[in-house]
Amino acid sequence: MSGRALTLYYEEPPLPFKPATRALFEFTSPTRFPLSLFDEELAKHVKKCRDDVYARVSYPCLGLYRFLEPGSRENPVYTQAIECIKQQPDTRRILDMGCGYAQDIRAWIQDGVPSTSIVGADLLLDFVEDSFELFADEKGKDHMYGVKFEHCDIFDEDHVNKVKELSHGGQGFDVIYIGSFLHLFEWSEFARESESIMRWKIQAADVQGRVFRAYTRADAQAQVARALSNLLSNAPGSLIFGRQSGMPPGQAGHYERHHRTGAMGGNSQAPWRHDPDSFIRLWQDEARGRQQLQGSGGWEVKPVLPNPAFNWAGFKDKDVQELSRKDLVQAFGTGLEFQIIRK
């Protein structure tokens, strides 16, 4: 682990693996990961790959093995989202923004979405490179043939426009998935009122010494919402869906980061965890801004807390003994699934 301190977000592989996890690995490499392979053997491989990456960038979703269960499949709109692409694969496109290990992209292909209709974008394409070792498949070959990956910092307009060019005719994506993405960034309702509060942008380096831009601007989530709107097709019914950490009603706000991620530069910013109402307000603001500029706008926003006690942070019995579940939710948040539909 390169001497990096372990955190609450660092776990052992969750054994036994779920049948869907085994099926995904069998799909990506039937010779390397046949269903007859013992779980323990697969676990050794998965842990080694995870640790190599976690030593560089300690995202909780890596520490908790979230990448073993593609989050998009858990969203109630999943079947509709992938059917939309499957029905018109020549013209419809789906984007995974902040795709990370690209496990969702592999799941979509396993579920019948043509690979040529899929685009993945991420600030750190290293994750995508690493994913070929994890899933033992090859870039541009077999099921991964036709998938396009693009380096993108969502705050960089040129990057965003380059990603948009990968949609059919550059007209925007029909479906965009964002998993554990928006919650990385800061939001302040006060920032809507006063541009002057928009603050600093910092330079930060990960443990390998590469420099990232990390964002602590109070309006970062508003910027991301604008960029996603720009990437989405203007056709009514176009869809953004995803999941992230959230808070029970009435408890939205800034919460201290309980971890330090390389990509965010280990800074002490406190990201905004939405409850359903604040999540709706974020998108209403985006629509209002667009209406003023372009005379068009409007979203149907459906945020759902799948279950108030949803174990977003992967609490273990030992954690629950030390803290009440309420305290754990306060500290780590609950889950938030959402659909944002263009009117």
Q: Which two tokens stand for residue 60?
A: 């909780």
Beta strands 201-205 and 211-215 are antiparallel
Question: What residues form DSSP beta bridges with 253?
Answer: 273
The residue from 123, 166, 280, 340 that contacts ligand SAM (CB under 6 A) is 123
Dihedral angle computed from the Cα positions of residues 311, 222, 169 and 106, in that order, rounded to the nearest 10 degrees: -20
- Each residue 189-208 as x (binds ligand SAM by CB under 6 A) or -, in order, gives --------------------
Q: What is the DSSP string of 125-194?
A: THHHHHHHHHHT--TTSGGGTT-EEEE--TT-HHHHHHHHTTSGGGS-BSEEEEES-GGGS---HHHHH-
Site stretch for ligand SAM (CB under 6 A), options 21-29, 58-66, 76-84, 134-142: 58-66
- Each residue 75-114 as x (binds ligand SAM by CB under 6 A) or -, in order, gives -----------------------xxx--------------
The verdict on 118 binding ligand SAM (CB under 6 A) reads: no
Number of Cβ within a 10 Å radius of residue 294: 9
Give residues 284-323 in contact with ligand SAM (rule: CB under 6 A).
none
- Each residue 245-264 as x (binds ligand SAM by CB under 6 A) or -, in order, gives ------------------x-
**72 vs 240: CA distance, rounded Å:** 11
Q: How far is the CB of 31 from ligand SAM (least distance, A)?
A: 26
The verdict on 49 binding ligand SAM (CB under 6 A) reads: no
The residue from 153, 189, 300, 319 that contacts ligand SAM (CB under 6 A) is 153
Q: Would you say the C-alpha torsion 284, 220, 183, 83 has a positive or negative sign?
A: positive
3-class secondary-structure state, position 252: coil
8 vs 297 by CB, closer to ligand SAM:
8
| Site residues, ligand SAM (CB under 6 A) | 59, 61, 66-67, 71, 98-100, 122-124, 127, 152-155, 179-181, 184, 263
